[in-house]
Amino acid sequence: MSVKVIDSKTAAELVPDNASVALDGCLGTDVAEEILEMMKKRYQETGHPKDLDVWYGCGIGDNKGSAVENFAEKGMLRRVVGGLWSLAPKLAPMVANNDFEAFNFPQGTISQLFRDAAAHRPVLVTHTGLGTFVDPENDGGRLNEAAKNSTLVNRIKIHGKDYLAYETPKPDVSIFRGTYADENGNITFDDEPLTMDVTAVAMAAHNNGGKVIVQVKRVVKAGSLDPKSVRVPGVLVDYVVPTDNPEMTKQTTDYIYNPDIIKSNIVKDVKQMDLPLDKKKVIARRAAFLFNPDTDHCVNFGIGQYPMYCAMVMKEEGLSDNIVTTVEAGTFGGTSLGGGSFGTAIAPQATIDEPYMFDFYNGGGLDATYLGLAEADQYGNLNVSKFGPKIAGTGGFVDITQYTPKIVFTGTFTAAGLKEEIKDGKLNIIQEGKVKKFVKHVQQITFSGKVAYDSNQEVWYVTERAVFKLVKGGIELMEIAPGVDLQKDVLDQMEFKPIISDNLQEMDPRIFQEPVMNIKNDKK
């Protein structure tokens, strides 16, 4: 058997009008950018393919017009179901204008939907999304009026318990990128740091009578690939598109090629981080006190600067020596990267396909997670997914927060113009942020405080000046920073009055001093 080798222009011409298209990728990783750009060019020249139904799990793109932003042409889209929307800002005004139906589902759920689509399961039944904006009792994952007449998720009961049943897609085309293809269409991912959903999206399209198109660096002779390195067997692949353009085969948005993110034999001294003592470090330091080395063996750090700082402070304090970090894109161990390389890690111990990583999360495999805090309300609900017309999307946030026993949300107390300094062991607020982040009602429920409390999860909200804990009926103020005024700097900057602990304390003074805190010794 031999696979058809074609160019990207021909590949773009193979996508018909009204097709359901399954994409794989994480930011720039595994994204078949050359094919997607050629699809855009074809549409601009001919008006085809039009009315596409596009599905993707992890956010793909770079905020600069790549990946799914190639579909930001009026009439090109009928529906988009995506896990993360923040990397495709050109789509946001189109969502607001109701140019197409827009849905935001949890990243892990979409990943598992591809796998279920391959097996012809009609729905994916899961706890993920209950009580959030994805729940049909709220918005059903809909992002605009155009989607109001479409239902892709329903509530059901099994053995008296509530679950969500997500409709599985039937892809007509799947498009993604590997490293090498042999003449039989077998695909390896030697230079790719992640394999994400590649097997699932390929099998979903193939088993539903669709076509699988794979962009690669080059085609090699049949029999020359290590069979254990083949992640997509040739029987699933219809077309291969080789390209030697390094800009179209970048490992991540940040790197054309970095061997450190695909190899484990890298030894780097990262204990001395030399992080400046600012609000980010203060937040991360307080969060580090919540780490328990006796129980927190497998930990997730979310996207964004504050979770990344948590990871770095734990390294600085020597707390991460005996933990395995994970990222939802599929990495275990190593030093997790942020920015345009989010999802990857320096010297990972292992990488697995994304559906299985979310199986791990959904089954309670994580001990703790450190995530960003964008907007919180009086009930302990969190919103990280939608702010007015800006659509960020949930990513893996819903999947991770609904199953992890300990959750630590991290972020500043206010936003937009906040200026602070740490001096003489105290926090000084120079200029207050214009936007209050602790509000009466969040704009969208990405995390349900009630569901978490009823599930006996331990939940903390850590800021540079105040620390809260989820309790019955809301959040309780546990600590404030030295130097801040409880009324002026905390309560007056909230839209509601929290429960205040009878044992309200100041945060540990070491947090606001330059030397390493040595909290590792506290935990012996």
By CB atoms closer than 10 A (0-12, 13-18, 19+), residue 522 is exposed
Q: Which two tokens stand for residue 115?
A: 């796998």
Residue 71 near residue 48 (C-beta atoms within 8 A): no
What are the Cα distances from residue 16, in Å, to 48, 51, 196? 8, 9, 25
Reading the block at residue 72, the tokens are 């930001």
CA 334 to each of CA 125, 176, 242, 314: distance values in angstroms, whole numbers, following the listed order? 33, 26, 31, 13
Per residue, what are the HEC states of 75-98?
CCEEEEEECCCCCCHHHHHHHHCC
Coil, helix or strand for 306?
helix
Give the end-to-end CA distance of the chain in Å, rounded to a whole number: 61
Task: Decide: 454 and 448 in contact? Cβ < 8 Å.
Answer: no
Rg of the Cα atoms in the chain: 23
CA distance readout (Å), 492 to 340, 411, 438, 495: 37, 18, 11, 8
> Residue 177 — φ and ψ, nearest 5°?
-125, 135
For tokens 């994916």, what's the residue? 124
Q: Which of 440, 353, 441, 366 is nearest to 401 (CA)?
A: 366
Cβ(21)–Cβ(76) under 8 Å? Answer: no
> Does residue 45 carry a catalytic annotation?
no
Choosing from 192, 316, 328, 432, the catalytic residue is 328
Residue 462 and residue 187: Cα distance in Å, rounded?
44
* DSSP single-letter state for residue 218: E
The two three-digit tokens of residue 498, written as one number: 């929290």
Strand, coil or helix: 458: strand
* Cβ partners under 8 Å of residue 327, min gap 6: 300, 301, 336, 342, 343, 344, 345
Is 389:453 a contact under the CB 8 Å cutoff? no
Catalytic annotation, residues: 328
